[in-house]
Amino acid sequence: MRSDAIKKGLDKAPHRSLLKALGFVDQELECPMIGVVNSFNEIVPGHMHLNEITAAVKAGVRLAGGTPVEFPAIAVCDGIAMNHSGMKYSLASRELIADMVETMAEAHQFDGLVLVTACDKVVPGMLMAAARLDIPSIVISGGPMLAGRHRGERVSLSTIFEAVGAVRAGKITEAELAEYEESTCPGCGSCAGMFTANSMNCLTEALGMALPGNGTVPAISAARRRLAKLTGIKVMELVREGVKPSDILTPKAFDNGLAVDMALGCSTNTVLHLPAIASEAGVEINLDKINSISDSIPNLCKLSPMGSHFMEDLHEAGGIGAVMGELAKKGLIDLDVSTVSGMKVGDIIREQVVLNPDVIRSIDNPYSQSGGIAILKGNLAPDGAVVKKAGVAPEMLSHRGPARVFNSEEEAAAAINSGVIQKGDVIVIRYEGPKGGPGMREMLTPTATVIGLGLDKDVALLTDGRFSGATRGASIGHISPEAAEGGPVAALQDGDMIEIDINNNKLNVELSPEELADRLSRWQPPEPRVKKGYLARYAKLVTSASTGAILKK
């Protein structure tokens, strides 16, 4: 066993002494030691119940003859971090989480890992660590929150962000907004729509790194606790059989994950996270590959914020297995891919059926023939940009309008709130990329305000930052190269005409190559916004959004 390095032999008597200081008995030290990474804290709703999930995991490990050893990981709530300097830390926390798990697992030589996670950057951070360490590992999430209810209508986090804009537009009162505050988020779990957290938990299941149900079983349910126990039992099988993440996270597994991504209409943040996980696994995913898969995968689901369905509906309709089953009908899923369950994908989905065709459409009746995410390129984004195509109004799939250029999210939000944005405008928010932000902030407040003001069918937003999974509308992010690195977006001026053609994957500014080159030749990089601490180090090491915003090797 790997853990023998800390507990076997004469020269490990001091180590055993320290382990016995923890209360371990000899019988426990004879068993495989399983690190259980618990990302519980008291500030993230998706994580506030993870002590319960972790306790169930540990019970499963013990039932299967292992010794569970719990240790913590940090987690950021993107919703609470939104629209202030705290959001700079969200994406950057992904790398910290991966490093923390690596550090603990290597320092203490665990035989296997159970990664107890839930929200946004924690899921990919833990998967990156699992791929990097390549010791038997399995993921269990805390599960999705139930939808809230407001005056008979089901709602989720995106609803209240958009309601703020509705107040500014005079469509609802502040008293009604206060009602939303009380009812939008009814309890524990990752927010109820197909936002980043639920996207990544569903894709973890599709990749084969979690048991069936991981993405959709509700957070509050007993079924989630049972799944956690089964996960603890299953990690012991992985350890005994020597099954490692490298056996699961193969190129074909990532193809399956991307196919499910496009069918579900997941968050654009998956375009950052899947390449980052793949990089740790020694698999290359670039934007051209993502576009190629998106072109061939039909969009089968429209969950909040794109539609009226929520994660609980997806679960009741058959979950990720049913979605993969529909895709498999036309050979769009590789059935021979291995999973941590011990079964091949084909074995898992063989008995899965769609129980509600309103939630998971038939492969013969999709919302669109192409996937939920599109990669755009052109003279404004030579290395690519990303849009959640499935969430864009048909009127905005092709758009031409004048740029309204802002050098920060705060500047853009102030302009939107003051009413100076006109129909037809293209709002450009730059210097918010991985390096320029630093940290590539999400822009949910500006996009939700535009929707609340009723301008989502008239106004586009572009940024070298990123958008929340709760964002919808013609919101194009990840523009690469970013402004802070002298990308073309740094040369834009108010009034420049922007051409957006999402169906044909184009994003251009109507400037001649000579004019664009002349402007960029006169461009000077701005002073770093953060000059000390973790973010300053992160800004020096982070790479482009087009490569997953991973750190330089």
Active site residue 398: no
Out of 468, 475, 544, 546, pick the active-site residue: 468
> What backbone torsions phi and psi does residue 174 show, to the nearest 5 degrees?
-65, -30
State how far the Cα of 278 lies from the Cα of 131, in Å rounded to an integer.
8
| H/E segment holding residue 460 | strand 460-463
How many Cβ atoms from other residues are within 10 Å of residue 84's Cβ? 12
State how far the Cα of 411 lies from the Cα of 431, in Å rounded to an integer.
11
State how far the Cα of 348 lies from the Cα of 19, in Å rounded to an integer.
40
Residues 6 or more apart from 423 whose CB is under 8 A from it? Answer: 455, 458, 459
State how far the Cα of 124 lies from the Cα of 549, in Å rounded to an integer.
12
Asked if 101 contacts 135 with a C-beta cutoff of 8 angstroms, the reply is: no
What is the dihedral angle through the alpha carbons of 365, 289, 141, 227, rounded to the nearest 10 degrees?
60
Q: Which sign, positive or negative, has the C-alpha torsion 166, 172, 173, 175?
A: negative
Measured CA distances, 246 to 234, 249, 253, 280, 338 (Å): 17, 5, 11, 10, 10
Residues with active-site annotation: 468
